[in-house]
Structure 1
Amino acid sequence: MHEPSPKSFTKQREDCVVSVCFATPPDNDEAFKTIREIAGRLDEVYRFREVILVVEDHQKDAFLPLVEEVADVRLFVVRKGTEYYERRVIAAEEAIGDLVLIAQEDEAAHLDVLAFLDHAEKSTAIALANRGARRPLKALMSWPFIALGRLAGFTVNPSDFQSIALPRTLLNQILSHDEPRLALRYPPRDPRLPIAPFKAAKGVSSRSAFKDVGRRMQLLQTLLVYLTPIILSIVAISSSLLTLVGLAYAAWIVGAVLVVESLAPGWFTTNTMLAVSAIFMGVSTLGLSLGLQHLLRQQARDRGERVCEEVNRIDLFGKVADDLNVELESEIWSRTSATDQNREGD
């Protein structure tokens, strides 16, 4: 006779909803297996969970069987070529869980997902997994990104896992950041956003120093773009100094004309042109930099619709209310109103 598993008698947690997001899942059997296993492990501990998949439009048909097989899977379709970091933001914005895990499929297969989520919940911090030992070549290639990240105010370390787990309150703060795409991958250096490192049991063997060169170049570009206000401030300061130097040079030329009785032919014309050029370049560059800074401050973040469609909608809140026997106040009011109307009709 088959004995039931001891886990079947373990009571599931009902006080927490978990959202697991995959922003770039490939449409292959290995990724599907990882998603099934993670969903099964979450079901052993949590009563309410959802799995969010963000796929491109040409991948939709491949994921439909998985959506039908695994319960509470939400499939979001985006345009082909949607940026990797943008897809992570889309998944995070659609998540409704109290605990949110944005996972990379190859890393999730090597992570203890339950321990990772528990670490983020107990520490009330952003859990970042790391590989422990790092190769010298990877450490050398990471230094430019780390330096730029510190300058931009982010905790950047390309050697860390791309998977991140965090409570809902911290996720809301990250999504309200000026650059949520970058903040969701590398948390800002902010005391309101504590970080809790998580030691992974083993690394991801499929990763190499040159595997994600394109993505790292994209990260470098994003960091440089985010440094635009700082660069413009430096340009404004240097332009101001150039303008002052030009004015001082012009004053020196005027003093030389008044004091020196005889000047070399062409000296006055040449130096005057140099002084005017310095003043003009300084003032014009200063004006352009200040104008761009003003535009950047006035520009609102684009919050337009980026999801083309949600293939399958699930009413997770309704499921929670039904399973916990919770009756909404609006439903009670509507039933009371209907009863009163029936009595008046009688």
Structure 2
Amino acid sequence: MLNLRDDILISVCFSDANAPKPTHACLAALVEILKARYRYWEILIVNEAGLEEEFEETLMALPNLRYLSVAQGLDDSQRRLVAASEAIGDIVVITSLQEVDTMDIPAMIEEANANDAVILGLRRATAAAEPLIIALGRASGFQASTRDMKTVAFPRTALNRLLSHPNPVLAIRFPPRDSSLSVLRKAQSKDTTRTTPPIQGRSARAFSRLDLLMRMVTEAGPSILGAVALLSVVISISAFLFAIYVVIVYFTKADIAEGWTTLSLAISGMLGFLGITLFAISITLRKVAETTRGGATDYLIAEHSSVDLFESVAHALNVDTDDRDHQELPAEPLEINAPSRSGRNGA
């Protein structure tokens, strides 16, 4: 009998499995890997509502599989959030069909459990936009990089913290810049040559990346507003200094062009007023942005499952159930005898 690890529950989640045939082959291989190492595990698939019948064969053939139907129109990042929210494992792995074969999933699980750290897959290639993404990530408060893969292993404690983040969609994709959050990166164990064809089209992948970029820009809003507020202060100070310069010139020089003093003072006053106004607007909007982050993320519609985590326990403990134990006993009529009025009144 295999010595299976039974002290942790593993959840492996997919958010891009919307084609039944390649999904079935990939999940079947993953099932064999998990069955050989762990006693308790589950696989989650997050898909748009309406594809349940296409995956009915996969649900019947593979054990411990949960199929989550979500509202239509969600991008990959939002489906990843649904998977992270619904997973029940002590270690939760979120990956994709294109990356699962290039990463050593059991090694990531063991490392995440041993170090109580988020294990992030790291691709070998670096994109040309790497400096821009890193700078944008720092401004928005996330550890963003073009080398970060979609495959991530989360311990339960770290995942709960990320789910409570004001922007959990980004926090699940790129870990926040938090010194108390331990993040380790693990390089690909195989080349990026894929045996599974891309499930999502180019337009869908481009839209998902653009959505992530816009979320990062939005999340960097308070930092941008802070920079604008600082710039407005510089403009106000410059306008004040220019006004002093105009006054000094007016009293020290006689050959001043007609109207120059009046025009210069008007310009400095207008710039000073605009700088002060922009500063007040920027700090107010920054305060509003910091206090109104986050929002509802209840996208789940239905769930279909083939999970029976405790069947193996009953078999290992040699527990046998009798069908008669599950039969309902016939309900016996309940007689209630009300006290007689005559007895109560002493008639």
**TM-score class, shorter:** 0.7 to 0.9
Task: Mark the runs of 5 or more structure 1 residues left unpaired by the alignment.
Answer: 1-8, 326-346
Matched, 1:142 2:135: no
- Structure 1 residue 197 and structure 2 residue 185: aligned? yes
Q: Report which of the two structures shows the higher radius of gyration computed on alpha carbons.
A: 2
Name the SS of the counterpart of 2:148 in structure 1.
coil
Question: Structure with the greater relative contact order (CA < 8 A, sep ≥ 6): 1 or 2?
Answer: 2
> Among 156, 164, 170, which residue is 2:152 paired with?
164
Alpha-carbon contact 1:51-1:72 (below 8 Å) kept = yes
Q: Does the 8 Å CA contact 1:107/1:163 hold for their aligned counterparts?
A: yes
Question: In structure 2, which of residues 12, 15, 35 is the aligned counterpart of residue 43 of structure 1?
Answer: 35
Equivalent residue, structure 1, for 2:111 = 119
Aligned to 2:77: 85
Q: Report how far residue 255 of structure 1 moved.
A: 4.4
For 2:88 and 2:246, locate their aligned partners in 1 and report how far apart those are by CA, in whole Å.
Answer: 69
1:75 aligned partner: 67
Asked if the contact 2:9–2:40 (Cα under 8 Å) also holds between the matched residues in 1, the reply is yes
Q: Identify the residue that residue 66 of structure 1 maps to in structure 2.
A: 58
1:146-173 Cα distance to aligned partner (Å, 9 max, x none):
3322443332222332101121111122
Q: 1:111 to 1:298 in 2, by over 3 A?
A: closer
Shift of the 173–78 alpha-carbon distance from structure 1 to 2, 3 Å rule, reads same
Give the whole-Å Cα distance in 1 for the aligned partners of 2:276 and 2:316. Answer: 68
Q: Which amino acid aligns with 1:236?
A: A
* Partners of 1:83 and 1:10 in 2: CA distance: 40
Contact 1:123 1:196 in 2 (8 A): no
1:269-327 CA-to-partner distances (Å, cap 9, x unmatched) read 311221122012212211221121121122142134221222448675x77997899xx
Are positions 1:235 and 2:228 aligned together? yes
* Displacement after TM superposition at 1:23 (Å): 1.4
Q: Amino acid of the residue matched to residue 17 of structure 2? A: P
Correspondence for 1:226: 219
**Aligned-partner SS, 1:77:** strand
Q: Give 3-state SS (helix, strand or coil) of 1:128's partner.
A: strand
Which protein has the bigger helix share? 1
| SS of residue matched to 2:300 | coil
Aligned-partner Cα distance in 1 for 2:315–2:221: 51
Residues 62 and 267 from structure 1, CA distance in 2 versus in 1: closer, same or farther, beyond 3 angstroms?
A: same
Question: Which residue is 2:261 aligned to?
Answer: 268
Q: Could you tell me how far 1:239 is from its partner in structure 2?
A: 0.6
The residue matched to 1:26 in structure 2 has which SS? coil
Cα distance in 1, alignment partners of residues 175 and 232 from structure 2: 33
Q: Residue in 2 aligned with 1:174?
A: 162
Tell me the distance in 1 between the aligned counterparts of 2:233 and 2:148.
41
Measure, in 1, the Cα distance between the counterparts of 2:226 and 2:96.
Answer: 37
The answer on whether the counterparts of 1:131 and 1:202 sit within 8 Å (CA) in structure 2 is no
**Structure 2: runs of 5 or more not aligned:** 318-347
**1:21 counterpart = 2:9:** no
TM-score (norm 1): 0.80
| Cα distance change on mapping 1:183 and 1:203 into 2, 3 Å | farther
The SS at the match of 2:42 is: strand
Among candidates 280, 297, 300, match of residue 307 of structure 1:
300
Cα distance in 2 for partners of 1:297, 1:195 equals: 25
SS at match of 1:53: strand
Provide the rounded CA distance (Å) in 2 between the counterparts of 1:323 and 1:148.
53
Query: 2:167 is matched by which residue type in structure 1?
Result: E
Deviation of 1:201 (Å) = 2.5
Counterpart CA distance in 2 for 1:19 and 1:100 is 5
Counterpart Cα distance in 1 of 2:278 and 2:58 = 57
Per the alignment, residue 102 of structure 1 pairs with 94
Identity across matched positions, percent: 27
TM-score computed with the length of structure 2 as normaliser: 0.79
Structure 1 position 56, deviation (Å)? 0.9
What is the rounded CA distance, in whole Å, between the counterparts of 1:16 and 1:294 in structure 2?
42
